[in-house]
Amino acid sequence: MKKLLVTGGAGILGRALAERGIKGWHLRSLALSHPPDYPAQVERNDGDICDPDALRRAVAGCDAVLHLACRYADAIGFEETLDVNYRATLDLMEASVQAGVSHVVFASSNHVQGFHPRRNAPLSEGDALRPDGWYAVSKIWGEAVMALYADARGMTTTSLRIGSSCAKVMDERQFHMWLGFDDFVELVRIAIERPGPGHVALNAVGDCEGAFFDNSRAKALGYAPRQNPRAHLADPAVPDTAPAPDIFGRSLGGAFARANFRADLDIWEKGGAA
């Protein structure tokens, strides 16, 4: 059986993956700690991602890595992102090369294009990067690192630009960019089993009405979303709720864009990025 290391394995997405599993794969989770009710079939590795020795131990014997661990918050500062999002990501890639890992999946984010106005949707992966804060900038850097290791080390790397992934569609913004947990796990499977080498960035969203992000590149790799947002509404009124009139409702990034926006709304909406 092949082995997949999941960093941040005790977080929301790590847990969703641990509960579902991937056929043919043994999962090993790296996290500071794991709750007592963590799925027993997943190997637990308690350790700090910022400790290179812990990373080396965690990745030993693995065929693939899913890198979920990161620091994030809508208004996070640059300095706060340095240790985990930058340094630990690089240490993880070096440890992976040393361990002979062939596939790495990086949890990127919709926020790399969060400052696009909604009227630009649906966006494809090739559209301009418009990060909506320092968290998003760190994800763009992470994608660049994935591309570098694919070219320079012959790895197969995938950046999943995850929309909004949770059990239920909580609000109107999520309705247009939601990713169900089953579909998330399927995208991870596709990424760790895809033939390589090379890097690809994939919009990781379901088939959403009024989609913010086009998922056809993932579909070309075999992705067939099964979880329709309309069947997973927290409240039936969600799709008909009016978007907020401020930057939250006019951008793709929502709360992250709002937390970092200090400009004029009309000027921003007229502007663009090539």
Question: Buried b vs exposed e over 59-80: b needs ≥16 C-beta within 10 Å?
Answer: beebbbbbbbbbbbebebeeeb
Using the minimum distance from each CB to ligand 15L, give the nearer residue, 44 or 111: 111
109 lies in the binding site for ligand 15L (CB under 6 A):
yes
CB count in 10 Å sphere of residue 94:
16
**Residue 190 Cβ vs ligand 15L, minimum distance, rounded to whole Å:** 20
DSSP 233: B
**Residue 269 Cβ vs ligand 15L, minimum distance, rounded to whole Å:** 20
Contact region for ligand 15L (CB under 6 A) — 36-44, 61-69, 104-112, 194-202?
A: 104-112
Using the minimum distance from each CB to ligand 15L, give the nearer residue, 229 or 254: 254
Contact between residue 94 and residue 153 where contact means Cβ atoms under 8 Å apart? no
Residue type, 60: A
Scan residues 14-53 and list those touching ligand 15L (CB under 6 A): none
**Distance from C-alpha of 199 to C-alpha of 150, rounded to nearest angstrom:** 6
Active site residue 149: no
* Contact residue for ligand 15L among 25, 38, 72, 184 (CB under 6 A): 72
Using the minimum distance from each CB to ligand 15L, give the nearer residue, 72 or 134: 72
**Residue 170 Cβ vs ligand 15L, minimum distance, rounded to whole Å:** 9
Contact between residue 29 and residue 44 where contact means Cβ atoms under 8 Å apart? yes
110 lies in the binding site for ligand 15L (CB under 6 A):
yes
Using the minimum distance from each CB to ligand 15L, give the nearer residue, 95 or 229: 229
Using the minimum distance from each CB to ligand 15L, give the nearer residue, 45 or 174: 174
CA–CA distances in Å: residue 145 to residues 70, 104, 153, 167 = 15, 11, 11, 30
**Residue 164 Cβ vs ligand 15L, minimum distance, rounded to whole Å:** 3
Per annotation, catalytic residue among 72, 135, 149, 223: 135
**Residue 246 Cβ vs ligand 15L, minimum distance, rounded to whole Å:** 16
What's the distance, CA 110 to chain centroid?
A: 8
- Find the angle CA(239)-CA(241)-CA(244) to the nearest 5 degrees: 125
111 lies in the binding site for ligand 15L (CB under 6 A):
yes
**Distance from C-alpha of 204 to C-alpha of 225, rounded to nearest angstrom:** 10
Scan residues 131-150 and list those touching ligand 15L (CB under 6 A): none
Residue from 264, 251, 272, 212 nearest 115 by CA:
251
Binding string, residues 176-215; x marks residues near ligand 15L by CB under 6 A: ----------------------------------------
Contact between residue 140 and residue 131 where contact means Cβ atoms under 8 Å apart? yes
Cite the active site residues. 135
Q: Which residues bind to ligand 15L, rule: CB under 6 A?
A: 72, 109-111, 164, 254
